[in-house]
C-alpha cells in the first residue's frame, strides 16, 4: 500500500527505484591492552592509516573537482590534525590498540565539537566519517559508504558524508534520501551540483525496508513508498514535462514579458566553470575563494597562485559579470593561520570580513591578486565582502579595495539581519548588495544550517526571510543600485519568481539549477511574480507562503 512521506526537497528531479541502505558504521573496537613493546608498532599503524585515509579523501576530491574538492580536502586536513594524532599516540603509549586509540581520541574531539556551538556541531558527521574510515582501514574491513549494486537504486542514509556524496554515480544512484541534514548542508549543495534528486531531513527514512520501491520527488520533498502504477505514471509525466520545458528554454534569464533577470552561477573554483558555461550561466554571481585557502590551513596561498586560479574563472566569461567573494574564513571554515581556536561560539565571533580586517595583509594580497587577474580582460569584475554588519564594515572594505588599486565594483553580502535592516546606509559605501540567504536564515532564526532538527527554520520560504529580502531590494532600488541573491534560495524555480517579484535584480545558483529557473521565469510575467511575492509575504508559515505563491503562479 502506498505511503507518502515528506522531507525537505533539496535537488530537483524525480527518481524511482529500489532502496539500498548506506553501509553500516564501523563497530566499536574492543578495549584491550597491548604490551609496552608493541606501542611503537601500533603508533606506526595508526600514522599509516591516517595518511592513507587523508590521501584517499584528497584523491576523491581531485576526481570530483569543483566545490566537492574543497570540502574533501578540508576533511583530509581534519584526519591529519596534529593534536588528534598526538592524542592517538598518547593513548597507544599507555596500552591502547591503534584502532581503539583512534576511536577514543576522535570521541573526545567529537564531544568538544558538539559542545562548541551549533556551527561546529554541524561538522560532527564529517568527523565521524573520517574516524570510521581510519578504524575500518586498521581493522581490515570494508570502508563504510555507498553499497555495491549492479542495478540502479535509491540510496537511503542517516546522513551522507561529503566523501560519499561527491563521487555518487548518477547512472547508478538515481537519488538519495537522508534522515538528517538540511537544505544548505554539504550533501544538499553537492547533490544539486551533481543533478541527483534528493530529499533530506526525512524522519524514519532508515526504517524503509531494503529493496522497497520508492519514488523521490526532489522538488516537493515527497517520498512515495511503493507507489501504484497511476502515481508512478503521474510522476514520470511530470518529470518528462519538466525535461521538455528545460530543452525549450535557452538564452538570458527573463520573465515572459521581457523583464531581464540575469542568471548567474555559484562556483568554488575553475573546476566548476565548464558546468556553468554549459548551463548557459550569464556570469558568476558567487565565486567562493575560500576553497583555494583550504589547501593549506597553515598559510595563505601566494599571490601568484591566487592570480592563476582567479584568471581561469575570469577568462571563462568574457564580457560577462563575475562576482568574487573575498575569503570567508572562520566558524565552519577554520584556518590555523587566521582564526582563533578557542572561540566559544565561532559563528558569532570573528569570521568573514572581521577576520580579514584583523589580518589586513591577507586581504591586501587577495585584492592585489584579483586586480592582476583581471588585467587586460573585458570581464565585469565585482568584489564583495562576507558578513558585513553595518556601514563601518562596508567602508572599511571599500577603502581596502581602493588602496589595493582594484578596478571593480565593491559590494557587500547581506547575511546578517542588521545589514538588511540598514541596507540603505551600507549602500552609501558600496555599489551593490548580494543576499546570502543561507546564513541570513541562520542568523534570523537562530537555526544552524547543518542541523536537521531545525530545518523548517532554514526554509527560504519563511515570510520573515522574504521580508528581509524585500527590505534589501527596496533599499537598492531607492539608491539606484543592484541587489542579487546568491544563496541556495535562488535555485528554487518558484521562489526565484518570488524573489524577482520582491525586486531582486539577479539570481545566482548551482549550475544544475539554472535551466529549471530559466524555464520557470519564462512562463510568468513580472506582474505575476510581484503578486506571488505579495501573497508569500502575507502568509504566516513557509508552507503557506509556498502554497500561496504557487496558487498565484499557476493562475488559480
How many angstroms separate the CA atoms of 96 and 399, rounded? 56
Please say if 486 is a catalytic residue: yes
Length of the chain equals: 556
| Residue 231 burial (10 A CB sphere; 0-12, 13-18, 19+) | middle
Beta bridge partners of 401: none
Single out the catalytic residue among 12, 401, 483, 486. Answer: 486
Catalytic hit among 12, 186, 359, 524: 186
CA 414, CA 389: separation in Å to the nearest integer? 8
Closest CA to 226 of 214, 234, 218, 217: 214
Measured CA to CA, the distance from residue 9 to residue 199 in angstroms comes to: 4
**Any catalytic annotation for residue 186?**
yes
Residues paired with residue 283 on neighbouring β-strands, in sequence order: 321
CA distance linking residue 92 with residue 100, whole number of Å = 8
Alpha carbons 296 and 48: distance in angstroms, whole number: 20
Q: How close are the terminal C-alpha atoms of the chain, in Å?
A: 32
154: left (phi over 0), alpha (psi -120 to 50) or beta: beta
CA atoms of 93 and 36, how far apart (whole Å): 7
User: Measured at the alpha carbon of residue 16, what is the angle toward residues 11 and 19, in degrees to the nearest 5?
Assistant: 95
Element (H, E) at 396: helix 391-403
The b-or-e profile of 471-484 (16+ CB within 10 A means b, else e) is: bbbebbeebebbbb
Which single residue is written with the C-alpha cell 527573463?
A: 254
Residues facing residue 330 across a β-bridge:
333
Q: Cβ neighbours of residue 466 under 8 Å, at least 6 residues apart? A: 498, 502, 533, 536, 537, 545
Beta strand residue intervals within 181-335, DSSP E: 198-200, 213-217, 222-225, 263-267, 283-288, 321-325
Please classify residue 47 by burial: count the beta carbons closer than 10 Å to its beta carbon, then call 0-12 exposed, 13-18 middle and 19+ buried. Answer: middle
**Cα separation of 519 and 234, whole Å?**
21
Nearest CA among 218, 320, 217, 219 for reference residue 276: 320
* Number of Cα atoms under 13 Å in the Cβ half of residue 119: 18
Catalytic annotation, residues: 186, 486
Amino acid at each position: 500500500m502506498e505511503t507518502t512521506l515528506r522531507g525537505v526537497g533539496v535537488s530537483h528531479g524525480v527518481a524511482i527505484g529500489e532502496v539500498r541502505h548506506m553501509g553500516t558504521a564501523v563497530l566499536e573496537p574492543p578495549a584491550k591492552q597491548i604490551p609496552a613493546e608493541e606501542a611503537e608498532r601500533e603508533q606506526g599503524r595508526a600514522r599509516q592509516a591516517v595518511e592513507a585515509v587523508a590521501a584517499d579523501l584528497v584523491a576523491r576530491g581531485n576526481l570530483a573537482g569543483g566545490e566537492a574538492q574543497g570540502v574533501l580536502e578540508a576533511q583530509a586536513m581534519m584526519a591529519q590534525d596534529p593534536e588528534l594524532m598526538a592524542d592517538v599516540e598518547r593513548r597507544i603509549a599507555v596500552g591502547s590498540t591503534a584502532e581503539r586509540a583512534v576511536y577514543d581520541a576522535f570521541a573526545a574531539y567529537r564531544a568538544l565539537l558538539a559542545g562548541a556551538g551549533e556551527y561546529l556541531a554541524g561538522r560532527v558527521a564529517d568527523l565521524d566519517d573520517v574516524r570510521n574510515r581510519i578504524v575500518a582501514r586498521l581493522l581490515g574491513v570494508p570502508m563504510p559508504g555507498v553499497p555495491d549494486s549492479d542495478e540502479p537504486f535509491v540510496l537511503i542514509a542517516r546522513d551522507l558524508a561529503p566523501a560519499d556524496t561527491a563521487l555518487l554515480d548518477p547512472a547508478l544512484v538515481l537519488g538519495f534520501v537522508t534522515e538528517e541534514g538540511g537544505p544548505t548542508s554539504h550533501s544538499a549543495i553537492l547533490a544539486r551540483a551533481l543533478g541527483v534528486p534528493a530529499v533530506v531531513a526525512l524522519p524514519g527514512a532508515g526504517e524503509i525496508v531494503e529493496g522497497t520501491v520508492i519514488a523521490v520527488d526532489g522538488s516537493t520533498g515527497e517520498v512515495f513508498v511503493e507507489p501504484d502504477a497511476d502515481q508512478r505514471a503521474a510522476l514520470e509525466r511530470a518529470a518528462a514535462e519538466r525535461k521538455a520545458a528545460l530543452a525549450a528554454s535557452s538564452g538570458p534569464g527573463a520573465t515572459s514579458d521581457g523583464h531581464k533577470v540575469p542568471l548567474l552561477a555559484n562556483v568554488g573554483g575553475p573546476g566548476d566553470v565548464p558546468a556553468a558555461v554549459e548551463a548557459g550561466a550569464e556570469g558568476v554571481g558567487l565565486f567562493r575563494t575560500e576553497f583555494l585557502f583550504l589547501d593549506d590551513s597553515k598559510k595563505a596561498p601566494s599571490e601568484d597562485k591566487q592570480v592563476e586560479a582567479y584568471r581561469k574563472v575570469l577568462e571563462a566569461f568574457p564580457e560577462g559579470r563575475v562576482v568574487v567573494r573575498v575569503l570567508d574564513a572562520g566558524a565552519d571554515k577554520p584556518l590555523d593561520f587566521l582564526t582563533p581556536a578557542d572561540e566559544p561560539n565561532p559563528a558569532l565571533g570573528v569570521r568573514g570580513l572581521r577576520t580579514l580586517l584583523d589580518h589586513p595583509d591577507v586581504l591586501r594580497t587577495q585584492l592585489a591578486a584579483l586586480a592582476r587577474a583581471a588585467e587586460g580582460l573585458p570581464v565585469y569584475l565585482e568584489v564583495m565582502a562576507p558578513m558585513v554588519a553595518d556601514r563601518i564594515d562596508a567602508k572599511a572594505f571599500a577603502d581596502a579595495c581602493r588602496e589595493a588599486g582594484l578596478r571593480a565594483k565593491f559590494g557587500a553580502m547581506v547575511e546578517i539581519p542588521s545589514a538588511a535592516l540598514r541596507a540603505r546606509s551600507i549602500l552609501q559605501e558600496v555599489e551593490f548588495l548580494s543576499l546570502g540567504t543561507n546564513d541570513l536564515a541562520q542568523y534570523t532564526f537562530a537555526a544552524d544550517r547543518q542541523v536537521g532538527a531545525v530545518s523548517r527554520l532554514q526554509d527560504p520560504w519563511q515570510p520573515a526571510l522574504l521580508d528581509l529580502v524585500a527590505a534589501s531590494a527596496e533599499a537598492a532600488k531607492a539608491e539606484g543600485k543592484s541587489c542579487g541573491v546568491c544563496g541556495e534560495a535562488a535555485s528554487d524555480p518558484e521562489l526565484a519568481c518570488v524573489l524577482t517579484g520582491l525586486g531582486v535584480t539577479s539570481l545566482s545558483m548551482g549550475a544544475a539549477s539554472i535551466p529549471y529557473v530559466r524555464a520557470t521565469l519564462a512562463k510568468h510575467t513580472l506582474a505575476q511574480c510581484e503578486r506571488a511575492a505579495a501573497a508569500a509575504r502575507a502568509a504566516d508559515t513557509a508552507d503557506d507562503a509556498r502554497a500561496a505563491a504557487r496558487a498565484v503562479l499557476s493562475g488559480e
